[in-house]
């Protein structure tokens, strides 16, 4: 029944069997730990690993779920897990949300943060859309339903600025009409509509529309990561479009802070924008990273990508008023931290990731 589910832990003392199947044993700690328990899907990813570290530091007991899919090199995700697996309050479950035993994993009605998804705009077109439906629609529906049945006190899930598409006005407030331009954006908007349904059934679900999150551990196919790799010695950066496209950049620590606040706030709106307030064009970002690196970044220009929007911009008034949240990391500081992380990886002999060009 649970074929393909794998479990790993940093410690194996004081564990008890929760449920065996076909030779598989699923373990959870029997220790009582001060603080609340949270289940984080997508814990090995970019934002998920940062969030897991933060909640562990705050005293939470964390169960992390991740399928370790091959959208990009799973070795990067495993590296993100390395320090987490040594933590006594962290349990890791490798599983696909569509087939995972969610009732068991959500026993004891923990808080939930749902970050697992198939990312990326370009790959969502064509035959690849099947995977987006599987991960972003079916997987999301299952975690919502399981959390509602388990009476989880709060579920925070990742939406995206992609739901806005090319908006009529900027910055976008949560009331701005949504008109996604990619199948990926459609799946994220579908997640919001599913949340509406389960909210009506009693699930306290809060969606965060993240705007271009960047920083250390960013996926190798993302622009800032690829620019930093180019600045650290190559390969050259592939620029899609003329460089005039504008993004509202959000440093990962600021995104994590908003997520923690949404998880613990007494009451929030159903959907909140999370944007760094750092709008810049791609040409400006290239110039800034060139200045930080001390030399021009090699750029190869290509045509624009299918489904790409010209601009994103977040009105974060609601998050500021309801969560008391505000971004604290400016774009220059965030770019410097991202470049330093890539350089440290290079210095440690880590190969350049596939997709970082």
Active site residue 184: yes
CA 26 to chain CA mean position, Å: 26
Q: How far apart are CA 217 and CA 225, in angstroms?
A: 8
Provide DSSP, 212-226.
-EESTT--TTSHHHH
Beta strands in the chain (DSSP E): 6-9, 15-21, 24-29, 37-41, 61-66, 90-94, 111-114, 155-160, 205-210, 213-214, 237-240, 246-251, 271-274, 278-281, 299-302
Q: Which of 132, 164, 184, 210 is catalytic?
A: 184
DSSP assignment letter at 307 = T
> Measured between alpha carbons, how far is residue 65 from residues 43, 105, 167 in Å?
6, 9, 34
Q: How far apart are CA 27 and CA 15, in angstroms?
A: 6
Residues marked as catalytic: 184
């Amino acid at each position: 029944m649970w074929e393909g589910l794998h479990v790993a832990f940093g410690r194996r003392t004081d564990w008890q069997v929760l449920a065996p199947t076909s030779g598989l044993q699923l373990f959870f700690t029997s220790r009582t730990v001060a603080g609340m328990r949270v289940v984080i899907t997508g814990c090995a990813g970019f934002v998920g690993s940062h969030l897991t570290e933060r909640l562990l530091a705050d005293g939470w007991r964390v169960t992390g779920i991740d399928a370790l899919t091959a959208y990009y090199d799973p070795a990067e995700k495993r590296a993100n897990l390395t320090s987490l697996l040594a933590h006594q309050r962290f349990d890791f479950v490798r599983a696909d949300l569509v087939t995972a035993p969610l009732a068991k994993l959500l026993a004891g009605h923990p808080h939930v943060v749902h970050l697992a998804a198939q990312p990326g705009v370009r790959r969502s077109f064509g035959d690849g859309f099947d995977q987006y439906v599987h991960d972003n629609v079916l997987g999301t529906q299952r975690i919502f339903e399981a959390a509602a049945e388990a009476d989880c006190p709060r579920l925070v899930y990742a939406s995206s600025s992609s739901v806005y598409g090319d908006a009529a006005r900027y910055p976008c407030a949560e009331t701005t009409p949504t008109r996604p331009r990619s199948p990926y954006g459609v799946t994220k908007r579908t997640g919001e509509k599913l949340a509406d349904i389960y909210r009506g059934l009693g699930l306290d679900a809060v969606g965060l529309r993240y705007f271009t999150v960047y920083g250390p551990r960013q996926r190798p196919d993302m622009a800032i990561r690829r620019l930093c790799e180019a600045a650290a010695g190559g390969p050259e950066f592939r620029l899609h479009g003329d460089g005039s496209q504008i993004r509202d950049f959000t440093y990962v620590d600021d995104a994590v802070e908003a997520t923690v606040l949404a998880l613990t706030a007494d009451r929030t709106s159903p959907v909140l924008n999370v944007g760094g307030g750092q709008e810049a064009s791609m040409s400006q970002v290239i110039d800034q990273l060139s200045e930080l690196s001390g030399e021009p970044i090699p750029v190869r220009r290509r045509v624009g990508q299918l489904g790409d929007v010209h601009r994103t911009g977040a009105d974060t008034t609601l998050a500021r008023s309801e969560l008391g949240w505000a971004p604290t990391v400016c774009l220059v500081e965030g770019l410097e931290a991202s470049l330093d992380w890539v350089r440290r990886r290079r210095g440690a002999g880590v190969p350049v990731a596939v997709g970082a060009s």
